[in-house]
Amino acid sequence: MNTNVVSNNKRLIRLPEVLNRTGLCKAWIYRLISRNEFPSPIKLGERAIAFLESDIDKWIDEKITLSRNKVA
């Protein structure tokens, strides 16, 4: 069913999950965000942020593609 796919594209993940998926540290993530080299977080509240899972997956895929194209 298509509903599952749509909800997966709009899933929000918190910073610990982003750190786990990327292998980067929190400071480096924020540095990349400030350089516009990483997806911007979505503000959930006064002190809470999350990221769109699809944005993070796309960023990871782009890094893989870039890395493999440079090596080849």
Per-residue pLDDT tens digits of the chain, which is 72 residues long = 444 444 556 999 999 999 999 999 999 999 999 999 999 999 999 999 999 999 999 999 999 999 998 755
User: pTM of the entire structure?
Assistant: 0.81
Is residue 6 a part of any domain in this protein? no
Which of the 8 DSSP states describes residue 52? E
CA 14/CA 51 separation, integer angstroms: 6
Is residue 4 a part of any domain in this protein? no
Into how many domains does the chain fold?
1
For residue 55, the domain's CATH number is 1.10.238
Reference 63, options 42, 38, 31, 46; nearest CA is 38
pLDDT of residue 2: 46
Is residue 1 a part of any domain in this protein? no
CA 12/CA 4 separation, integer angstroms: 14
Q: Which residues contact 60 (CB under 8 A, 6 or more apart)?
A: 21, 22
Full domain range(s) for residue 34: 11-71
